[in-house]
Structure 1
Amino acid sequence: MSVIGSDNRNLRLGVRYLVLILIALIFVLPLLFMVMSSFKPSDALLRDSSSLRAFLPVGQLSLDNYTGAFERAPVGLFVFNSIFVTGTTVLLSLLICSLAGFSFVFLHWRGRDLMLSIILATFIVPFETIAIPLLLEVSKLPWLGLDGLSWGWLDSYRVQIIPWIADGLTIFLFVQYFKGLPGELIEAARVEGASWFQIYRRVVIPLSGPVIATAAILKFLVMYNQYLWPLIVVQQEQYRPVMVGLQYFFQLNPAWGEIMAYLTLITVPVLAFYLVLQKAFIASIASTGVKG
């Protein structure tokens, strides 16, 4: 009986690993195709796309597509713009939304539940319905910069950052996570005379590594993949992000090899950010032990 039970466990384990490998291939193969295609001429890329050669480093490989991508568009500038806009937005969003979530969970003020309900209701409002009203607003808002007072936020970094700092999903994530923290910790801190901000900074945030990592990854993906809003509000090349820069490669005859090289280049920051946050996420779970 023990031998039969052991064989069944091994069979289930083998099936589980097989399913996990298949799921991993679903995500890895498109990336492998993109990277391999970025080193092939466009004609070879299209010819190999109908066979397994598309995933293998075979044929005439070179860096010509990468050279052509940098000649066709200011790739470095676009990547910098996206990293700057995305990184700034993520940091400000984590700060503002975590403070908002803290106030909704631990502070008692009039209209709290109504305000949270309104924020959650924004989930069902598609961005396309508010894009034009938001454009009209940001086109006439004042801004005090180093060169003095100016009107309108178009063609700037701030128009790509400020409207996206606070959002309902990130606030909701923090609210749900903070509700699961032991209330005894907050009460003990209050008895010791800690202010609400000290509780937020020294008690709540150190215990919130998983939700911070999750919210950062989701926000990063949303901001890095922005296309419609930058396309509307940014006309100057010096402020364009990577997704808007992709249209440079579809003018006249699309250069598919250069497109794959460009996609490979702009995917590197996403993978790097995810790997860093993944390590932080795992470390925070391993080191944060909260007993209720």
Structure 2
Amino acid sequence: MFVSSLKPDNQIFGDLSSLAAFLPIGNISLDNYAAVFDRVPAARFLINSIGVSAVTVILGIFVNSLAAFALSRMRVPAKGLILTLIIATLIIPFETLALPLLWWVNQLPNFSVGPEGFSYLKGWLDTYQVQIIPFVANAFSVYLFYQYFDSIPKELDEAARVDGAGWFRIYRTVILPLSGPAIATVAILTFLPAWNSYLWPLMSVQSEELRPVMIGVQYFFQLNVSWGEVMAYCSLITLPVVALFIAFQRSFVNSIASTGVKG
């Protein structure tokens, strides 16, 4: 993909029958990358996706870890049943929820600030929050945090309680600092679906200035298809994912390894 993004279309198809397709040889240039920014507002799409994905990750870590902390460390009635129901939601495909969810978010109140002050609008369609809020809570993230928190000795909670710490302080100062691998894993697993989201933004976002990067792919297939530009755009939108994985790779691997040992 990256090598093809450096070549013109005629060379891409000419190299397909040989190993030259994998080598940066021939007429190599960055013209396709320059053409990407001329054809679509790629910079705006990248900023939108980075913002939406980052906020989803931050809120997701906070909300899901809080839920897992309550189930793991506190005395919650019917804890097993609640956790089972949360995990059971994983079997429901998003496609079955998309239309009901679209109807519900269109009923929610939306407030905007303008020159005349606050104004009330009905519906979250065509907003940033419609791309974030429905995907903050995640059953798999709750389960992963629960499993990790459950492996931390509860004697630490008792020691903190003796020092006068409340539940939230225990969560903030004792549990979270010990849960780096779980946080890194949830961050990656939350970021990927948010970054790769296509169906939901296609249904709920109409304004071009609010669209994420995946919607931008369809722009290249509306008129004459330039495969070099398609490869260049796909290379650009892959870089943040690769960078995130490299940044959290050690914690991600440690989380998988420790889960295997504890299991």
Q: TM-score, normalised by structure 1?
A: 0.83
Query: 2:86 & 2:254 partners in 1: Cα distance?
Result: 31
Q: Pick the aligned partner of 1:278 from 229, 234, 249.
A: 249
Question: 2:157 — aligned with what?
Answer: 186
- How many residues get paired? 252
Question: 2:261 — aligned with what?
Answer: none
Question: 2:125 — aligned with what?
Answer: 154
Query: Is 1:195 aligned to residue 162 of structure 2?
Result: no
Give the superposed CA RMSD. Answer: 1.6
Query: 1:115 & 1:148 partners in 2: Cα distance?
Result: 39
CA shift for structure 1 position 279: 4.9
Residues 11-44 of structure 1, C-alpha deviations (whole Å, 9 max, x = no match) = xxxxxxxxxxxxxxxxxxxxxxx11111100111
CA shift for structure 1 position 149: 2.1
Question: 2:74 — aligned with what?
Answer: 107
Query: Is 1:81 aligned to residue 48 of structure 2?
Result: yes
CA shift for structure 1 position 111: 3.5
Residues 259-278 of structure 1, C-alpha deviations (whole Å, 9 max, x = no match) = 00001111111111111122
> Residue type of the partner of 2:13?
L
Q: Pick the aligned partner of 2:6 from 39, 43, 64.
A: 39
Residues 204-262 of structure 1, C-alpha deviations (whole Å, 9 max, x = no match) = 00000000000101111111000000000011101111111100011133210000000
> Residue type of the partner of 1:224?
W
Question: 1:215 — aligned with what?
Answer: 186
**Structure 1 segment 111-260 matched on structure 2, within 5 A:** 111-146=78-113, 147-260=118-231
Preserved CA contact (<8 Å) 1:143 1:153: yes
Residues 71-97 of structure 1, C-alpha deviations (whole Å, 9 max, x = no match) = 110000111111000000000000000
Query: 1:275 & 1:69 partners in 2: Cα distance?
Result: 26
- Mark the runs of 5 or more structure 1 residues left unpaired by the alignment: 1-33, 286-292
Query: 2:236 & 2:128 partners in 1: Cα distance?
Result: 22
Question: 2:26 — aligned with what?
Answer: 59
Query: 1:199 & 1:226 partners in 2: Cα distance?
Result: 35
Query: 2:140 & 2:255 partners in 1: Cα distance?
Result: 22
> Residue type of the partner of 1:126?
P
Query: 1:124 & 1:231 partners in 2: Cα distance?
Result: 23
Query: 2:126 & 2:149 partners in 1: Cα distance?
Result: 38
Query: What secondary structure sits across from 1:194 in the alignment?
Result: coil
Query: Is 1:268 aligned to residue 239 of structure 2?
Result: yes
Query: 1:38 & 1:70 partners in 2: Cα distance?
Result: 14
Query: 1:112 & 1:153 partners in 2: Cα distance?
Result: 33
Query: 2:9 & 2:253 partners in 1: Cα distance?
Result: 41
- Structure number with bigger Rg: 1
Preserved CA contact (<8 Å) 1:209 1:281: no
Query: 2:112 & 2:148 partners in 1: Cα distance?
Result: 37
Query: 2:182 & 2:55 partners in 1: Cα distance?
Result: 18
> Residue type of the partner of 1:196?
W
**Identity between Structure 1 and Structure 2 (%):** 53
CA shift for structure 1 position 183: 1.5
Query: 2:230 & 2:133 partners in 1: Cα distance?
Result: 30
CA separation of 1:284/1:136 partners in 2, compared to 1, >3 Å: closer, same or farther? closer
Q: TM-score, normalised by structure 2?
A: 0.92
